[in-house]
Amino acid sequence: NNISASMGKVRSEKQARVHTAAARSTAGAASSSGGAAAAAAKSGLVFNKDFGQHILKNPLVTQGIVDKAGLRSTDTVLEIGPGTGNLTVKILDQAKKVVACEVDPRMAAELQKRVMGTPHQAKLQLVLGDVLKTDLPYFDVCVANMPYQISSPFIFKLLLHRPFFRCAVLMFQREFAQRLVAKPGDPLYCRLSVNTQLLAKVEHLMKVGKNNFRPPPKVESSVVRVEPRNPPPPVNFQEWDGLLRIAFGRKNKTLGGCFKTKAILSLLETNYRAFCAMQEPPIVLPPDLDMREKVTQLLAELKFEETRARNMDIDDFLRLLSTFNAAGIHFQ
């Protein structure tokens, strides 16, 4: 009995070892993506919520992002927040070079360790620091699983970058992505929608559930493709944005209501007086200048006084800016 019991024990231990080895090999073959995040966790790497660190672990999603970027073998790719490199290694398979911007030195060390001794090592350039405070290098395509708290400032840093890049495929919080692609009349249509669509063509590519990340974020995500308009519209962007800040300042107010508050009229009058003083020769203003009446006339001329910004398209805003500028009223 003792012999048969011990034989049974040996047999069961052997089977356990075989199953464990098989499981290891299956997991390795399936993907290195989840494994990299798991390895990082095992090595004591704690994900930093302040940096918005959520590692994309689903290999199908990472491959989908790379496929949508349409990479060429001659491309230099800018990646923001590479983390442990699940997306990076797939980009390195297809691109000539990857410039990866990472704010966390621990993540940068993990990524370096991952490519060390592989053909990818020579193709990867790591830039350590805050991407919002860093001059962007030359690149053809930008691919990023964005830290969500820098989404808005980064998208405009990207769109105002020169020389032009071909496209960007970016992961954002779902609602932010929906704002980027929203059309006039949509509940999420806002200044962000208009500014982005002035400078680029934006397309929603795919939804990504929170369980595709480690640790899972509190919100759902989406991937969008952004293609800069080249040549860009002949508009001073700072002045354009100044106009939109007023128009979208009170979501449910008409343009008449937005432009005729005391604070806005005071700002417009200051800008108008400065503009007139800078002309050659300077424009002499009447002592009884009435900015409220001037603004009312311009809005009435366009039939925009009762219009709300949420229902206006880019052409409407371009007409509005052009009419105000022609009358000497500026927003910068």
Query: What pLDDT was estimated at residue 251?
Result: 78
The helix or strand, by DSSP H or E, that contains position 101, with its residue range, turns out to be: strand 97-102
Give the pLDDT confidence of 281-293 residue by residue, as tens digits: 999 998 899 999 9
**Confidence at 176, pLDDT banded by 50, 70, 90:** very high
Question: Is the pLDDT at 180 greater than 50, yes or no?
Answer: yes
Query: What pLDDT was estimated at residue 9?
Result: 43
Give the pLDDT confidence of 251-287 residue by residue, as tens digits: 789 999 999 999 999 999 999 999 999 999 999 998 8
Measured at the CA of 254, the angle between CA 250 and CA 260, to 5 degrees, comes to 80
DSSP one-letter string for 166-230 = SEEEEEEEHHHHHHHH--TTSTT--HHHHHHHHHEEEEEEEEE-GGGEESPPSS-EEEEEEEE-S
Query: What pLDDT was estimated at residue 50?
Result: 52
Question: Is the pLDDT at 299 greater than 80, yes or no?
Answer: yes
Query: What pLDDT was estimated at residue 21?
Result: 39
SS3 assignment, position 142? strand
CA 278 remoteness from chain centre: 39
**Confidence at 146, pLDDT banded by 50, 70, 90:** confident
Question: Is the pLDDT at 217 greater than 60, yes or no?
Answer: yes
**Confidence at 54, pLDDT banded by 50, 70, 90:** confident
**Confidence at 36, pLDDT banded by 50, 70, 90:** low
Arithmetic mean of pLDDT over the chain? 87
**What gap in Å lies between CA 103 and CA 300, rounded to an integer?**
50
Question: Is the pLDDT at 35 greater than 60, yes or no?
Answer: no
**Confidence at 53, pLDDT banded by 50, 70, 90:** low
Query: What pLDDT was estimated at residue 18?
Result: 39
User: Rounded mean pLDDT of 183-208?
Assistant: 97
User: Rounded mean pLDDT of 101-129?
Assistant: 96
How many CB atoms within 10 Å of residue 261?
Answer: 14
Query: What pLDDT was estimated at residue 45?
Result: 55
**What gap in Å lies between CA 111 and CA 187, rounded to an integer?**
41
Q: Check residue 284 and report its DSSP letter.
A: P
